[in-house]
Chain A
């Protein structure tokens, strides 16, 4: 393990060292460079985040007052559906893939991803997938309006012809994710620098490695589910049609067999990010590294046996409900291990609150809120009350917005100086933090109350008793949406290199190979493998 390594003897990487990126649009179209592709993914995800956010604004504007004011119910349904699809498949997942592209090779001391051409392909099919999905909103009969979960028979019997476009775009997204995941696994498996043993890998790498396995296990199942919807709708099969011997409840089983691991696909890399940032600004080693790795793996394994907790009200026998209830609650044990480890890392640390740390601490607290409401939803008898109410909406937005999205923002503030070579505008960053933190809670916290009081989700109108809270929620929503333009302004400034130049090691407490290369990170890094003790 202590082999002193010399330059890679093959000629190709050395040739590359002499020229930088191509100029103009061709650089981005033909690039096989992991940093370029990472940037493409991140910008794409951010654009999708704003697009999906605009749809959320439509939803909140309609719900500002009871009654129907702004949009038709059918268009409202399209907004809730496409908002969900875009945020899950267009914002959160590509953003994590972008971070993986940027950071994993630098963290493990590899010159690039293992399969650079496939990397290019897996990004460049994404814009087409979302162009198709967004275009479907403009065809006759409107876009998908059956919820992002596309339950049969809503998506088969009662959907419009644009369902074909929806299915096709989900297929492309799936292929893109699968290729991305294969690339991550091969890179981590084969391209680690000499001495980078499994248990020396940074946690972001570990969590992504496990996430990638989840992706290749469940994205094909999603592809199968949308294919069945397609053939049921257009080719006369009866997978989900009782008249032909099928069963619509089976759709829910297949969908959630994909869907539950999917929620961990969207949060495990976030755990990796927080496990990287908290030790840096606590100036301590991460508490319980090995337990973090095992906890991540246990969460991933358990995620395959809890899917039916999304379906408690479909009429399962009591013993099945108990099984899924206990398995679901079991997941809070490894998740709890993680939260306690983060807190223990901060314990007696020399903490300083730089912006990435502020978002990370907010993540730990607010993600835990989301975790607790998840635990409440896991309890079968009370789930009958909470099912399909705004309580569920509050729950998954706490884990996805203040969880996944906050971790992505924290990661951006953490590594952005490494990417651009300049320190971003800290004043703007702090403004972004406080505006987001306050507005996100005004936005999502009252949803618990209206949900418990019985307000159903995915409905454009509501009973007048919910009017006050909905007005507050909508105001929080608009504020949260506007706050993200602070982030956009900051990103544009940073990418134009407006700011103080930074050293290789941007944060004094930071550890890891990415801080050993200069800032901004050169186009090619670690063409000679680094030495790791």
Chain B
């Protein structure tokens, strides 16, 4: 290690400071990059039951004919509406038992007990999370925002089937819908 005059020392310091500052900026950006990375990760792995928020495009006739008659899976439907709203959201068939591969319809109703028109969005969540990958919905009110007039009750149909590739150890699953208010910004806020 050589003796340094203070100018050289200053330069050497500045070089490291600049590099470390760059690390800080990158890590700040990384914090925000975690948001899309999280979505990508969940979509790829089906964690969080988030991969089901779209209609299945890759539906072929083949999928439907391969009904696995050897087992039945118990599906529970749970419905919540976000606190602070005058909605009644319920599943008309809270529990169904289906063969994997078999197409099934279930009905939900949303009743707006207030006198104002409500714009709502149902957000699904599947547990166990991995099962979300095998639940295919072909028609669902949750794909888009719904408009419910005041003092009105609307019935919706959700059409789905379970993939026959559903792992054998999953014999029971739950699909939970939470109803949120949406406005122009598609954000929900309570209070």
Which A residues are within 8 Å of any B CB, using their own CB?
A: 1, 3, 5-6, 8-10, 12, 114-115, 157-158, 178, 182, 185-186, 189-192, 194-197, 216-225, 228, 236-239, 241-245, 247, 249-250, 253-254, 257, 315-317, 320, 529
Q: Which residue of A lies closest to B47 (CB)?
A: A317
A242 to B123, Cβ gap below 8 A? yes
Which B residues are within 8 Å of any A CB, using their own CB?
A: 1-3, 5-6, 9, 12-13, 16-17, 20-21, 23-25, 27-28, 30-32, 34-35, 38, 42, 45, 47-48, 50, 82, 121, 123, 127-130, 178, 180-182, 185-191
What are 30 A-B pairs with beta-carbon distances under 8 A? A8-B5, A8-B6, A9-B5, A12-B6, A115-B17, A157-B190, A182-B17, A190-B13, A194-B1, A194-B2, A220-B24, A220-B25, A220-B31, A221-B27, A223-B31, A224-B32, A237-B187, A238-B187, A242-B123, A243-B121, A243-B187, A243-B188, A244-B187, A247-B38, A247-B42, A315-B127, A315-B128, A316-B47, A317-B45, A317-B128
A253 to B38, Cβ gap below 8 A? yes
Kindly state the separation between the CA atoms of A220 and B186 in the bound complex, as whole angstroms.
Answer: 29
Kindly state the separation between the CA atoms of A244 and B189 in the bound complex, as whole angstroms.
Answer: 10
Partner of B24, one of A190, A216, A244, A247: A216
A225 to B31, Cβ gap below 8 A? yes
What's the minimum C-beta distance from A306 to chain B, rounded to whole angstroms? 16
Partner of A236, one of B47, B127, B185: B185
Partner of A3, one of B3, B6, B23, B130: B3
11 extra A-B contacts, CB within 8 A, seeds A242-B180, A244-B186, A245-B186: A3-B1, A178-B24, A190-B16, A192-B1, A220-B30, A224-B28, A224-B32, A224-B34, A243-B182, A244-B185, A317-B128
| Across-interface contacts of A236 in B (CB, < 8 A) | 185, 187
| Across-interface contacts of B47 in A (CB, < 8 A) | 316-317, 320
Q: Which residue of A lies closest to B179 (CB)?
A: A243
Partner of B20, one of A186, A254, A529: A186
Q: Which residue of B lies closest to A258 (CB)?
A: B31
A189 to B190, Cβ gap below 8 A? no
A243 to B1, Cβ gap below 8 A? no
What's the minimum C-beta distance from A357 to chain B, rounded to whole angstroms? 34
Question: What are the nearest 6 A-B pairs in CB distance?
Answer: A224-B31, A243-B180, A243-B188, A220-B28, A220-B27, A221-B31
| Across-interface contacts of A3 in B (CB, < 8 A) | 1-3
A253 to B34, Cβ gap below 8 A? yes
Q: Which residue of A lies closest to B8 (CB)?
A: A190
| Across-interface contacts of A244 in B (CB, < 8 A) | 185-188
What's the minimum C-beta distance from B80 to chain A, rounded to whole angstroms? 11
Kindly state the separation between the CA atoms of A32 and B132 in the bound complex, as whole angstroms.
Answer: 59
Q: Which residue of B lies closest to A197 (CB)?
A: B1
Count contacts between A and B, CB distance < 8 Å.
124
A249 to B48, Cβ gap below 8 A? yes
| Across-interface contacts of B23 in A (CB, < 8 A) | 216-217
Kindly state the separation between the CA atoms of A221 and B32 in the bound complex, as whole angstroms.
Answer: 8
Given A3-B2, A195-B1, A225-B31, A243 contacting B20 (CB threshold 8 A): no
Count chain B CB atoms within 10 A of each CB in A115, A220, A225, A236 and give the residue with the most.
Answer: A220
Partner of B48, one of A191, A239, A247: A247
Kindly state the separation between the CA atoms of A8 and B9 in the bound complex, as whole angstroms.
Answer: 12
Q: Which residue of B lies closest to A11 (CB)?
A: B6
Count chain B CB atoms within 10 A of each CB in A219, A244, A316 and give the residue with the most.
Answer: A244
| Across-interface contacts of B182 in A (CB, < 8 A) | 243
| Across-interface contacts of A6 in B (CB, < 8 A) | 3
| Across-interface contacts of A228 in B (CB, < 8 A) | 32, 35
| Across-interface contacts of A241 in B (CB, < 8 A) | 187-188
Kindly state the separation between the CA atoms of A239 and B156 in the bound complex, as whole angstroms.
Answer: 29
Given A241-B188, A243-B186, A223 contacting B20 (CB threshold 8 A): no
| Across-interface contacts of B17 in A (CB, < 8 A) | 115, 182, 186
Kindly state the separation between the CA atoms of A189 and B16 in the bound complex, as whole angstroms.
Answer: 9
| Across-interface contacts of A196 in B (CB, < 8 A) | 1
| Across-interface contacts of A157 in B (CB, < 8 A) | 189-191
Kindly state the separation between the CA atoms of A117 and B130 in the bound complex, as whole angstroms.
Answer: 54
B187 to A221, Cβ gap below 8 A? no
Q: Which residue of B lies closest to A12 (CB)?
A: B6
What's the minimum C-beta distance from A243 to chain B, rounded to whole angstroms? 3
| Across-interface contacts of B9 in A (CB, < 8 A) | 190-191
What's the minimum C-beta distance from B50 to chain A, rounded to whole angstroms? 8
What's the minimum C-beta distance from B132 to chain A, rounded to whole angstroms? 11
Partner of A185, one of B16, B123, B130: B16
Given A241-B187, A244-B188, A254-B31, A182 contacting B48 (CB threshold 8 A): no
Kindly state the separation between the CA atoms of A249 and B27 in the bound complex, as whole angstroms.
Answer: 20
Kindly state the separation between the CA atoms of A195 and B3 in the bound complex, as whole angstroms.
Answer: 11
What's the minimum C-beta distance from B163 to chain A, rounded to whole angstroms? 17
Partner of A243, one of B13, B129, B181: B181
Kindly state the separation between the CA atoms of A243 and B128 in the bound complex, as whole angstroms.
Answer: 21
Kindly state the separation between the CA atoms of A335 and B31 in the bound complex, as whole angstroms.
Answer: 28
A182 to B20, Cβ gap below 8 A? yes
Kindly state the separation between the CA atoms of A6 and B2 in the bound complex, as whole angstroms.
Answer: 12
Q: Which residue of B lies closest to A212 (CB)?
A: B20
What's the minimum C-beta distance from B166 to chain A, rounded to whole angstroms? 15
Given A9-B5, A194-B1, A250-B38, A242 contacting B178 (CB threshold 8 A): yes
Q: Which residue of A lies closest to B82 (CB)?
A: A243
A257 to B34, Cβ gap below 8 A? yes
